[in-house]
């Protein structure tokens, strides 16, 4: 299969993982539409930002032109667009007119835009053009099928951890506290402050937390990346997970990353968390701030041997159920081949 992926080539982009594993069996090219946009947007200080916001920039037209040139050179059987904010419906229609299949995967919600980078009119106006949609969210799947009569396949988030990083993370000394990795918003701060006000200490890692929290029980750290992220997810007794507005009652990347590294996850009680994991065995779920506080206290009070068994269970569930991105990529490839 000859496949062109449209997305980002930045180091943390999920597209890179899919390219890596799809290349094991298929001809795959990545066109970095999102990277081209951000390289433009953040170049020359504020000038390009002002031009874009005023509607005077030609960057989207340039990206469309470059994509068409890439397609004419590569001649793919299918074009898989990740999100798609930079690609116009007109260009997608041109691709379809060449007999090329169109696939979309949006790691955000195509119906709820929670910020400037989560969606735009290109997303909204292109939904009906794709031959196949992948989605991480069962509610999004149902809406795409009902409102657009779309062909939709499940593609949950996953994990990508090499064995050496796992071994290093596993051999750390445990910190018997709660922890959260991620940037703040009002809802996340409310939970973190509530835990601190109950007398429990916790650490947070991310940007701008000092603007949201003041308690002496909260220790603020800079964001962590790469191997340090995995080690931090594993090191603490309790890893908090919190949903953004666009994935309520669903799951997010941390849903799979925490258990895969052997972390003990305390997450919102959602339908999908219950689908993927076993409450009380390899995941713990909360319904409210008070419920979360009580479960943090219970997990911190566990004997070390019981905590270790939860870590083992979480890792085992992740491996045995094939939640890795390699397995996700193989699954996606089979679904794409069916529409060719």
61-94 pLDDT, tens per residue?
999 999 999 999 999 999 999 999 999 999 999 9
| CATH architecture observed for domain 2-158+325-339 | 3-Layer(aba) Sandwich (3.40)
Q: For the chain, what are the domain ranges? A: 2-158+325-339, 163-320
What one-character DSSP code corresponds to residue 92?
Answer: H
- Fold of the 163-320 domain: Rossmann fold (3.40.50)
Asked if the model's pLDDT at residue 155 lies above 90, the reply is yes
Query: According to the model, what pLDDT value does residue 114 have?
Result: 75
CA 177 to chain centre: 25
Helical (H) or strand (E) element with 269: none
What does the alpha-carbon distance between residue 97 and residue 84 come to, in Å, rounded to a whole number? 18
pLDDT of residue 56: 66
Residues 109-131: tens digit of each pLDDT: 999 887 777 889 999 999 999 99
Do residues 150 and 106 make contact, with C-beta atoms less than 8 angstroms apart? no
pTM: 0.92
Q: Which of 144, 119, 32 is nearest to 81 (CA)?
A: 32
Same topology between domain 2-158+325-339 and domain 163-320: yes
- Please report, to the nearest 10 degrees, the dihedral formed by the alpha carbons of residues 118, 159, 180, 229 taken in order: -110
What pLDDT band is residue 42 in, cutting at 50, 70 and 90? confident
């Amino acid at each position: 299969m000859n496949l062109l992926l449209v997305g980002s080539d930045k180091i943390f982009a999920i597209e890179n993982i899919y390219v890596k594993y799809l290349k094991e069996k298929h001809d795959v090219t990545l066109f970095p539409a999102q990277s081209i946009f951000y390289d433009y947007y953040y170049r020359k200080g504020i000038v390009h930002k002002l031009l874009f916001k005023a509607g005077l920039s030609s960057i989207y037209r340039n990206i469309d032109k470059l994509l068409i040139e890439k397609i004419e050179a590569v001649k793919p059987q299918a074009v898989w667009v990740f999100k798609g904010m930079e690609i116009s419906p007109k260009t997608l229609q041109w691709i379809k007119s060449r007999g090329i299949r169109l696939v979309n995967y949006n790691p955000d919600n195509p119906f709820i835009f929670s910020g400037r980078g989560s969606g735009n009119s290109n997303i909204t106006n292109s939904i009906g053009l794709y031959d196949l949609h992948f989605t991480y969210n069962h509610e999004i799947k149902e809406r795409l099928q009902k409102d657009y009569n779309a062909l939709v396949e499940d593609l949950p988030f996953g994990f990508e951890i090499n064995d050496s990083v796992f071994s290093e993370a596993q051999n750390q000394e445990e910190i018997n506290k709660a922890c959260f990795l991620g940037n703040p918003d009002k809802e996340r701060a409310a939970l973190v402050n509530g835990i601190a006000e109950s007398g429990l200490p916790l650490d947070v890692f991310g940007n701008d937390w000092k603007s949201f929290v003041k308690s002496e029980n909260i220790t603020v750290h800079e964001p962590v990346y790469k191997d340090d992220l995995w080690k931090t997810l594993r090191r603490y007794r309790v890893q908090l997970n919190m949903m953004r507005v666009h994935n309520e009652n669903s799951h997010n990347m941390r849903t799979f990353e925490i258990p895969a590294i052997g972390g003990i996850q305390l997450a919102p009680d959602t339908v999908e968390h219950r689908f993927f994991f076993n409450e009380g065995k390899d995941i713990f779920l909360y319904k409210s701030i008070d419920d979360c506080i009580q479960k943090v206290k219970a997990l911190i009070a566990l004997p070390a041997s019981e905590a270790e068994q939860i870590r083992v269970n979480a890792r085992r569930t992740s491996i045995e159920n094939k939640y890795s991105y390699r397995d996700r990529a193989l699954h996606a490839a089979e679904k794409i081949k069916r529409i060719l």
